[in-house]
Amino acid sequence: MTDLLHRPLGPFTVSAVSLGCMNLSHAYDVAPPEADAIQLLNHALDAGLTMLDTAALYGGGANERLIAEAVGHRRSEFRLASKCVLDLRDGERVLDGRPESIARTLDEALVRLNTDHIDLYYLHRLDPNVPIEESVGALARAREAGKIGALGLSEMSAATLRRAQAVHPIAAMQTELSPWVRNAEIAVLDACRELGTAFVAFSPVARGMLAGAVRSPDFVTGDIRASMPRFQSPAFEANLALADRFAAIAAEAGFTPAQLSLAWVLARGPHVIAIPGTRSIAHLDENLAAASRPAAPETLAAVDALFAPGAVQGNRYPPAAQAQVDTERLPEEA
């Protein structure tokens, strides 16, 4: 087992670089063969990574089933995180934060995961039609029943976090954070620090853009980046130039671009945990190597200067997706 940096998350301690499992089943490019995904998940645990993050939405439950098949026999070696509220019902994506729907999704997830307990269970999005207090109450009752160990929120604002915290302690807030997505710095990152809530950063290498993995805006059918304004021309070309300058900063500091992006994210505070996703064992090892190697202050300052407000072109989400998140917006976002 590798000696990785660990950080607190509610009642747990997890590897500061853990694994987002979405792209093994959902949303990016083409999912890998199941045998390759199983090999990667086992390699992650062998390397000392201690949290796997999934959701009911990912592949319509396929990602949860994959984790059960791949590493269910190693359940004591990792913390299991999953999510509800966003789901697929009869092939359609739904946003449903009603307590009865949360309870249903959780029970279905327990079956798919072949377990009776999920360590960390998130509300994947805020349902604007249901008070956050009611949705959090459903999770609190699930915790009392022993079905989950800790409560989380995803893509929500500092104000919503405070309302949720008044109902039950919130162990984690999961939101996108990378050098080119910095909405969390408006308020929620500090709110998490104040309340003792871990901040779990998804897409910490900018959906591959700051890992050198994206060189063209031509994506396969179904890849969610195709609909994102930052990945569409002419914004893409301007952002690719930024990514190239970022890669030069990384090289000068002795990092790969992905490693510097992760080091920057982890430097936001000791309460921050990163969950990059990958389908490559080599990339997984590259990411984990960043977990215990901080970047120098002058390198972090160079990154901040490169990604100054307004530098990145295009909004983070298209309008329909933006309407489903509760995160604060930067001034330059329409």
Residues annotated catalytic, as ranges: 58
Determine how many CB atoms are found less than 10 A away from the CB of residue 143. 16
> For residue 93, what are the CA distances in angstroms to 50, 60, 103, 138, 194?
30, 9, 18, 21, 34
Q: Are 115 and 68 in contact (CB under 8 A)?
A: yes
> 317 in helix, strand or coil?
coil
Burial class (CB within 10 angstroms; exposed 0-12, middle 13-18, buried 19+) of 34: middle
Kind plus residue range of the DSSP H or E element containing 7: strand 6-9
Nearest 5°: the CA angle 123, 81, 152 is: 35
| Residue for token pair 């987002």 | 20
Q: Are 106 and 117 in contact (CB under 8 A)?
A: no
Identity of residue 240: L
Kind plus residue range of the DSSP H or E element containing 154: strand 148-154
Q: How far apart are CA 55 and CA 78, in angstroms?
A: 16
Determine how many CB atoms are found less than 10 A away from the CB of residue 267. 15
Q: Are 180 and 209 in contact (CB under 8 A)?
A: yes
Sequence-separated (6 or more) residues with CB below 8 Å from residue 50: 4, 6, 13, 14, 15, 18, 77, 78, 79
Q: How far apart are CA 202 and CA 198, in angstroms?
A: 13
Q: How far apart are CA 183 and CA 128, in angstroms?
A: 20
Q: How far apart are CA 28 and CA 32, in angstroms?
A: 10
